Amino acid sequence: MIKLKKPASVILAASLMLSLCSCNSEPTQQQSSGDYHFKWMDSAIFDNVEKMKDVSIKDDFAAAVNYEWASQQKEDFTYPISSIGEANRNVVRNKRAMLDDKSFQNKNVELIRIMDGLYNDVAYRDSLGVEPLKKYLGYIDDIKTIDDVTAYMTDNSKNPFATALVKLDYSENETLDGEVALYLSKPDLTLEKTGYYVSIENEGLKMKDTKEKRIKYLLERCGYDAKEIDKLIKASYRFEYNLVNLDYTDVIDYTSVKTRTEVLDMAGNYPFKDMLDNYKITKCDRFMGDFKYLDKLESIYNQKNVEDIKAFFKVRLTLDSMLYLDTGAFNCYQDTGVDRTDKFDERIDREQDFYFFYLIGQTALTAALDQAYIDYYYDEDIRNEVKDFIRQIKEKYLILIDSNEHLSDASKKAVREKLNKLGENVMLPSNKADFGGMELKTKEEGGSFLDAMCQIKKAELDHVGEMVQSKLGRSFWDIYDPDLSTTAVGASYFRMQNTIYIKMGILTDPIYSKDASLEKKLGSFVAVLGHEISHAFDVNNITMDADGKKTNIITSNEMAFVDEKKSMIWAQFSGYEPFPGCGAYTYSSDVSGEAIADAQGIKVALMIGKDHEGFDYDQFFRGYATFWRTLQTKSAQKDAVKNDEHALSYLRINYTMLQFDEFIETYGLKPGDGMYLDPSQRILIW
Amino acid sequence: MVELIKEEIFTTIKKKRFIILTALLFIGVIANTVMVKTDHWNDLTYAFEMEEYIRFIFAPLMGAILLLAVHRKEYTRQSILQVESHGKKRCEGVFARVKAGCIILFCSYVVLALLVLLLGLIFGAGMSAQVTGQLMLRILTDCLAAIATYIFALFFQYLFAFPVFPMIWYAFFMFAGSMVFSQIPETIAFKIASSIIPKQTMEAFYTGLVLSSFRWDLLGLLVLQILVPFLLTLLVFKLKKLKEKKPRKKKAKTETSEDEETAAVTAANVVV
């Protein structure tokens, strides 16, 4: 035993050193491509476009089909270079055409035109410089007592972003009854994630570096000297640090709902009642969120902390204003947005209109814009066609569910019920925008974007008040919700509502056109519909019932076959690095849910296609590859590998295609071809 | 006491394995700098890469190397013999060993800080005062965490007289431990984790400092994290009984190892 001690110690030390050294090393291309079907080239970066020419369809479908398109693209990222990017560009062009059409008049479009004047007249914005910001910083300087803090938080005319120490929103309650409640949370923070205030890590330090540069730039221009800025930033951090450490849980508490009396009791001397009254939230009796935080907030809401609170308000106002000021501020925002530690990252400038509509889309005015867009462009025929495809997809899913050999009859019944009760929100939100009382100052009247924000933010919170005091249906689609803008190019499935959202944005050329062939439609937006519907039964959402409540509708034993597919995908993706320096897929970057949904989407689209005589499979598969064609920066790809639960576009194309016999038959594939996958390795669960 | 500490320090740092492995770690700092320089170079990247090197390689290995170096054959027995040879009490022996280890660790971090600054200067990282400050703070807090973790590891060293356990303890709590527990979002679990892992405590302390908040409570916690294992170490050392060493049959050797030399010296001292 004694003889073994020394060698054992040395071996352990050596192995520790080796294992630790290997922690940072990334797997090489050779190591990662042990699984044959990942021998495909990364056909989504410009470096490989020339190489795509020599690739055959049998070995790398994505590269071969998209070579011609890719070779015509320039490294111009004004819009994302992809079908989705093109659709984005078309939506923006449509919005511009709508604003330019002076024959189209109503309150909503009038508001957007005022905002357009304030933003897109760059010379006017530049002439204002940082004056709008200085005006609102001045209001914060006027604060002397804790009562002044209360007055500031409840006076929207002085507080453009309605900054307060408790943020108000509304949200469904997942575990109780699915009804909405007023959701309370900490305010937005300089470092964005509360976790960085507990353990800052390098990502937090990076964020700190970026934000401080922005604050310094703007405050210097507002006449603050370096010492004052430094003092202000430190005071703001100190206050934020104290805020977070009142209760640093990052997890949303969906498990409890409290009454108004309980919440007001918790708030103590924090003027929460004044906040509620300001937004006319007098009848709401359902509150949820960060109660521990609210409970402890009064301990720091006192005269002693007034200066730190003021510093926090100033920092928030400065950061929130950045994109609404002049060209200098915009350039600072863009320059500091580049990740200095990423050698591939570089500044990307989009079109001016892209930013304008993006900024509108971040506010409640998104409702005005979307309502105007609907009024101008909505086509009932398109909605009917989409609805008809959804009906067909549901029929196909019913067949797949019934033929599933892993599920018991009871489970099949529950899954069928979930499918039948699936909510369908197609193109049209449930409510209409109403900004009847809003009067914004135009540029001719000397208005500014920040002045407008005072009213817009007030309208947003007034709307939150209305929502929490109304009875909403399960699939209610709120037009005021920036995350659910119908003009966004996208589609989604909401687990808590068991509802799909198909937005007008995604039904835009080149993803959708009325005259396209059936094959092209099935290969693009119908596959998306199938994809979204399949999320109702994926590994994460199968635990929710037909009403979006958390109850396992299939047993854990039955879940085993889903888990098996998931492991298979993990094994195939893990360690794969698209290009040297990109970083590899790891077990934590779980693309399995989306990979399965992609394959399911194509499966049902194929089933629909089979019903039509003379269905052209080649055109269908090419349609899918065209739909997902993409060229992106290496930095964007690096970020996607690390953070996106969707696989990179060329992997989405190839990995999905090789799941199907029809694909193999269409192109005469055989074992050894890059696009051939042994049937035992397929990932379809339905 | 000073004599004892000196002897402990010199015996440790003169060991070939300590010299070679420590040198390798410092060469690693230089190699890391060159790699960053040739790949993607600016102050923030340099600071981050260096911080990663310190966190994942330097910190866990430095302590492990030290534990390996202070280890003698029949650890406790010879430690006792060494203390008694100086006519000192056992607790003074523990003090001496702990202090010696802390001094070596502290010095290694000072050398590391100087080397990092120097390399940044030589290679032209153009580090701002803020980035430099953050990096130096990181090294200082890591050093404090290393010292606290080392003392706890020393307790295992005395308890088992076998360096593998303390090395695992040290490496885990300086490397994996802090990472695993930092992922726990729940407040109570996080607090418990913070209260037993010096690395985690110092991570929170560092975060506070960077965000202009000095946390006396965390500093107090660190003192406890040092005191408790120290007292445990003291207890173990005090309670150990010195057994008669049974002569072992040895094969004929032409060379004498360092450990045996140390043993011979201490044994001679006892005789004298």
Give the whole-angstrom CA distance, residue A556 versus residue A562.
10
**Starting from the edge strand earliest in sequence, which strands make up the sheet with A423-426, in order?**
A423-426, A499-502, A491-494
Average pLDDT over residues A320-330: 97
Give the whole-angstrom CA distance, residue A686 versus residue A495.
19
Quick one: pLDDT at residue A451? Answer: 95
Tell me the residues of A at the B interface, defined by beta carbons under 8 Å apart. Answer: 2, 5, 8-10, 12-13, 16-17, 20-21, 23-24, 195-200, 202, 204-206, 208-209, 212, 234-235, 237-238, 240-242, 247-251, 340-343
Quick one: pLDDT at residue B181? Answer: 56
User: Among A24-28, A403-407, A515-519, which range has the highest average pLDDT?
Assistant: A515-519
B61/A249 touch (CB, cutoff 8 Å), yes or no: no
Q: Nearest-5° angle of CA A213, CA A215, CA A217?
A: 65
Interface of B with A in 183-202 (CB under 8 A): 185-187, 190, 200
Looking at chain A, how many residues does it have?
686
Looking at chain B, how many residues does it have?
272
Which positions in chain B touch A634 (Cβ < 8 Å)? none
CB-nearest to A20 from B44, B60, B210 is B60
Closest residue by Cα to residue A450 from A188, A162, A169, A249: A162
Model confidence at A600, pLDDT cuts 50, 70, 90, reads: very high
Give the whole-angstrom CA distance, residue A611 versus residue A389.
13
Interface test with B, best of A4, A26, A199 (most B CBs within 10 A): A199
Helix, strand, coil fractions of chain A, as percent rounded to 5 = 55, 5, 40
* DSSP secondary structure string for all residues of A225-273: -HHHHHHHHHHHHHHHHHHHHH----S---S--B-HHHHHHHHTTS-HH
Quick one: pLDDT at residue B272? Answer: 27
Per residue in A50-93, pLDDT tens?
999 999 999 999 999 999 999 999 999 999 999 999 999 999 99
* Percent of chain A residues past pLDDT 90, beyond the cut: 79
Min Cα distance A635 → chain B (Å) is 14
Q: How many Cα atoms occupy the beta-carbon half-sphere of A559 within 13 Å?
A: 13
CB-nearest to A199 from B61, B71, B203 is B203
Q: State which residue of chain B sits closest to A3, comparing Cα positions.
A: B73
Assess B142–A contact: CB distance below 8 Å, yes or no. no
Give the whole-angstrom CA distance, residue A345 versus residue A632.
11
Assess B66–A contact: CB distance below 8 Å, yes or no. no
Q: State which residue of chain A sits closest to B22, comparing Cα positions.
A: A17
Give the whole-angstrom CA distance, residue A586 versus residue A621.
29
Per residue in A336-378, pLDDT tens?
999 999 999 999 999 999 999 999 999 999 999 999 999 999 9
B68/A23 touch (CB, cutoff 8 Å), yes or no: no
Q: State which residue of chain A sits closest to B68, comparing Cα positions.
A: A9
- In our burial notation (b when 16+ CB lie closer than 10 A, e otherwise), range A454-481 reads bbbbbbbbbbbbbbbbeebebbbbbbbb
Average pLDDT, chain B: 81
Return the biggest CA–CA distance within chain B. Answer: 64
| CB neighbourhood size of A225 (10 A) | 10
* DSSP secondary structure string for all residues of B233-265: HHHHHHH---PPPPPPP----S---HHHHHHHH
Interface test with A, best of B73, B211, B214, B218 (most A CBs within 10 A): B211
Quick one: pLDDT at residue A19? Answer: 45
Quick one: pLDDT at residue A556? Answer: 80
Q: State which residue of chain B sits closest to A581, comparing Cα positions.
A: B39
Give the whole-angstrom CA distance, residue A552 versus residue A540.
11
SS3 A183: strand
Model confidence at B260, pLDDT cuts 50, 70, 90, reads: very low
Average pLDDT over residues A268-290: 94
- Cβ pair A573, A583 in contact under 8 A: no
Give the whole-angstrom CA distance, residue A598 versus residue A605.
11
The answer to whether the Cα torsion of A113, A114, A115, A117 is positive or negative is positive
- Cβ pair A452, A128 in contact under 8 A: no
Quick one: pLDDT at residue B262? Answer: 45
Min Cα distance B40 → chain A (Å) is 6
Give the whole-angstrom CA distance, residue A205 versus residue B48.
9
A12/B39 touch (CB, cutoff 8 Å), yes or no: no
Assess B42–A contact: CB distance below 8 Å, yes or no. yes
- Cβ pair A491, A506 in contact under 8 A: yes
Q: Nearest-5° angle of CA A571, CA A577, CA A583?
A: 110
What residues pair up with A502 in beta bridges, in sequence order? A426, A491
Helix ranges (DSSP H) in A434-555: 449-468, 518-521, 527-534
Q: State which residue of chain A sits closest to B51, comparing Cα positions.
A: A202
Assess B56–A contact: CB distance below 8 Å, yes or no. yes
Structure tokens at A254: 């969906």
Model confidence at B250, pLDDT cuts 50, 70, 90, reads: low
Q: State which residue of chain A sits closest to B46, comparing Cα positions.
A: A341
CB-nearest to A9 from B42, B44, B68 is B68
pLDDT at A27 over 50: no
- End-to-end CA, chain B: 19
Assess B134–A contact: CB distance below 8 Å, yes or no. yes
Model confidence at A541, pLDDT cuts 50, 70, 90, reads: confident
Q: Which residue has the higher pLDDT, B88 or B147?
A: B147
Per residue in A447-506, pLDDT tens?
999 999 999 999 999 999 999 998 888 889 999 999 999 999 999 999 888 999 999 999
Min Cα distance A199 → chain B (Å) is 5
SS3 A378: coil
CB-nearest to A12 from B57, B164, B190 is B164
Quick one: pLDDT at residue A214? Answer: 98
Quick one: pLDDT at residue B269? Answer: 37
Q: Where are the beta strands (DSSP E) in A391-437?
A: 423-426
Q: State which residue of chain A sits closest to B250, comparing Cα positions.
A: A3
Q: Where are the beta strands (DSSP E) in A31-166?
A: 81-82
| CB neighbourhood size of A260 (10 A) | 18
Structure tokens at A561: 């076959």
Give the whole-angstrom CA distance, residue A416 versus residue A414.
5
B175/A20 touch (CB, cutoff 8 Å), yes or no: yes
Place of tokens 């040895």: B250
Quick one: pLDDT at residue B239? Answer: 77
SS3 A494: strand
Which positions in chain A touch B163 (Cβ < 8 Å)? 5, 9
Q: How many Cα atoms occupy the beta-carbon half-sphere of B94 within 13 Å?
A: 24
What residues pair up with A172 in beta bridges, in sequence order? A180
pLDDT at A14 over 60: no
A-B CB pairs within 8 A amount to: 104
Structure tokens at A185: 């949370």
The alpha carbon of A98 is separated from its chain's Cα centroid by a whole number of angstroms, namely 26
Q: State which residue of chain B sits closest to A202, comparing Cα positions.
A: B48
Min Cα distance B2 → chain A (Å) is 29
Min Cα distance A181 → chain B (Å) is 23
A200/B206 touch (CB, cutoff 8 Å), yes or no: yes
- Cβ pair A110, A101 in contact under 8 A: no
ipTM: 0.85
User: Among A96-100, A243-247, A591-595, which range has the highest average pLDDT?
Assistant: A96-100
Average pLDDT, chain A: 91
Quick one: pLDDT at residue B261? Answer: 43
Which positions in chain A touch B162 (Cβ < 8 Å)? 5, 9
Average pLDDT over residues B116-144: 94
Give the whole-angstrom CA distance, residue A198 versus residue B207.
6
Model confidence at B192, pLDDT cuts 50, 70, 90, reads: low
pLDDT at A664 over 90: yes
Average pLDDT over residues A402-407: 90
Structure tokens at A569: 């995908």
CB-nearest to A205 from B40, B61, B134 is B134
pLDDT at A583 over 80: yes
Model confidence at A175, pLDDT cuts 50, 70, 90, reads: low
Quick one: pLDDT at residue B258? Answer: 44
Quick one: pLDDT at residue A29? Answer: 38
Mean pLDDT is lowest, of A509-523, A566-580, B24-38, for A566-580
- Cβ pair A295, A266 in contact under 8 A: yes
